[in-house]
């Protein structure tokens, strides 16, 4: 299945893009997607533990099972205010 | 509970926001918080902060926080404006207003909202015009 | 620490107060609290509150509280306006502004100021136009 | 010695005046003054324990020793805000 991955803040600088697509096996999890992203963009490995992950507009845990077409967002800790 | 949420590149118009305030006759407390861009960000002197928001998710996360406030406290109204794009030093990036029957509720809800925002709402900062001690060293050698 | 204290029978002019705000470029937080007259005072419906102040002592007690804030927190500015005389329902009787480098300091100092005021500053309330359940019984028999 | 006593808020209603003078023995205390006031205005006895006392613009304890011409203020709990 294909999912979309969006990068925010300085993650865009590390990947050189704001959006990418990922091919994943059926019933892959958000954690699987994160691993696949790090394989493609090794610069994100360093921030692996502090990376926040959302599907659509909601935060989700690594166990979250993805569906075809899901929009994943990966970003560093937020800093509003 | 009434809510009003604005994420905008425009300067925050405090006078207009105050003019639009509505409170019923049971309300005894209005708390307004403004977060203002400071000239120091860590060790760097900056001229502005460039705020980036994931708008759709930021709105959704703010709405979730508003719902938590509504469940926890008898707040009549929450209004919040977060500016995005380049916000110069000394200008507000955040304006929050809580209207409640009593002071303790208004303060508690306002602080909860800001704390929750800083943990969950996808907005990020990038310093502008920074001369950090590191980068100025580059020019001094 | 800059301080500005006003005890006045005039309505509180929020727009003018905001226009006079001054903050240096190290300040990141502005907290404004307004206390507003509510239509219920205990069990009575009222139309206003008549505030009486022992002006000289009230000013002195506010100054003592300001000094405590200055000793405890790195606050840049405290401004406070307390209206006296008849203040109608829905109008503010109290306006307080704290400007500080950080949010936590601004909230702590603002709440301390209001708590201390309510314990020490000689200002008293008298409900106006009240129809308490007791006094309306007088007319219903 | 003579001291001045000022009444505030509903204490004025109970005494029927906003200011009164009091003759006290030398080195009388603020507590002595309070007792003398209650003797003259018995309606204030009920509020004796909740009465706040100041000399000039400062709160003082009952032990505070008065001087000729001191201005005492007696009032109920304050209600600013």
HSE on the CB side for A36, CA within 13 Å? Answer: 18
Judged by a CB distance cut-off of 8 A, whether residue B123 touches chain A is yes
What per-residue confidence (pLDDT) applies to B120? 98
Residue in D closest to C125 by C-alpha: D79
What per-residue confidence (pLDDT) applies to A79? 96
**Which residue from B52, B57, B82 is facing A57, i.e. has the nearest CB?**
B57
* Average of per-residue pLDDT values in chain D: 97
* For chain D, percent of residues with pLDDT exceeding 70: 100
What per-residue confidence (pLDDT) applies to B43? 83
Q: What digits encode the pLDDT tens for the residues D39-61?
A: 999 999 999 999 999 999 999 99
Chosen from D5, D70, D78 to mutate, greatest number of chain C CBs within 10 A: D78
Contact D19, D5 (CB under 8 A): yes
Max Cα-Cα span within chain A: 39
* Average of per-residue pLDDT values in chain B: 92
HSE on the CB side for D70, CA within 13 Å? Answer: 25
- The interface predicted TM-score (ipTM) is 0.93
Contact D54, D33 (CB under 8 A): no
Chosen from A6, A57, A80, A81 to mutate, greatest number of chain B CBs within 10 A: A80
**What is the spatial distance between Cα C27 and Cα B39, in angstroms, rounded to a whole number?**
8
**What is the spatial distance between Cα D38 and Cα D48, in angstroms, rounded to a whole number?**
8
What per-residue confidence (pLDDT) applies to C44? 86
Q: What digits encode the pLDDT tens for the residues C5-46?
A: 999 999 999 999 999 999 999 999 999 999 999 998 778 899
Residue in C closest to D80 by C-alpha: C123
Which residue matches tokens 């560093």?
A: A76
HSE on the CB side for C57, CA within 13 Å? Answer: 27
With CB atoms and an 8 Å threshold, state whether B124 touches A9.
Answer: yes
Please say if the pLDDT value at position C141 is more than 60.
Answer: no
Residue D77 — very low, low, confident or very high, per pLDDT cuts 50/70/90? very high
Judged by a CB distance cut-off of 8 A, whether residue B54 touches chain A is yes
Cβ contacts below 8 Å, chain A against chain B, sum to 58
pTM of the model: 0.93
What per-residue confidence (pLDDT) applies to C130? 67
In the 8-state DSSP scheme, what is residue A45? G
With CB atoms and an 8 Å threshold, state whether B31 touches C27.
Answer: no
Residue in C closest to D77 by C-alpha: C119
Judged by a CB distance cut-off of 8 A, whether residue B110 touches chain A is no
CB atoms within 10 A of CB B23: 18
Q: What digits encode the pLDDT tens for the residues C25-36?
A: 999 999 999 999
With CB atoms and an 8 Å threshold, state whether B126 touches A52.
Answer: no
Please say if the pLDDT value at position C94 is more than 80.
Answer: yes
With CB atoms and an 8 Å threshold, state whether C118 touches D73.
Answer: no
**What is the spatial distance between Cα B35 and Cα B1, in angstroms, rounded to a whole number?**
23
Separation in Å, CA of A81 to nearest CA in chain B: 6
3-class DSSP state for residue C58?
helix
Contact B99, B76 (CB under 8 A): yes
Burial of D45 (0-12, 13-18, 19+ CB in 10 A): middle
**Which residue from B18, B30, B107 is facing C107, i.e. has the nearest CB?**
B107
Contact C122, C46 (CB under 8 A): no
């Amino acid at each position: 299945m294909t999912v979309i991955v969006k990068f925010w803040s300085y993650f865009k600088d590390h990947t050189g893009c704001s959006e990418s697509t990922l091919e994943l096996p059926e019933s892959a999890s958000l954690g699987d997607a994160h691993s696949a992203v790090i394989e493609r963009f090794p610069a994100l490995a360093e921030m692996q533990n502090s990376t926040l992950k959302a599907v659509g507009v909601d935060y989700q845990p690594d166990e979250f099972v993805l569906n075809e077409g899901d929009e994943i967002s990966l970003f560093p800790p937020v800093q509003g205010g | 509970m009434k809510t009003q949420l604005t994420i905008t590149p425009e300067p925050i118009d405090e006078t207009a926001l105050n003019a639009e305030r509505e409170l019923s006759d049971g309300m005894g407390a209005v708390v307004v918080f403004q977060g203002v861009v400071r000239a120091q960000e860590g060790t760097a002197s900056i001229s502005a902060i460039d705020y980036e928001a994931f708008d759709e998710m930021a709105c959704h996360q703010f709405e979730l926080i508003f719902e938590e406030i509504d469940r926890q406290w008898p707040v009549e109204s929450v209004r919040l404006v977060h500016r995005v794009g380049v916000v110069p030093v000394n200008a507000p990036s955040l304006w929050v207003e809580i209207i409640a029957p009593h002071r303790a509720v208004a303060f508690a809800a306002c602080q909860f909202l800001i704390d929750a925002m800083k943990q969950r709402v996808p907005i990020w900062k990038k310093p502008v015009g920074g001369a950090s001690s590191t980068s100025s060293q580059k020019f001094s050698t």
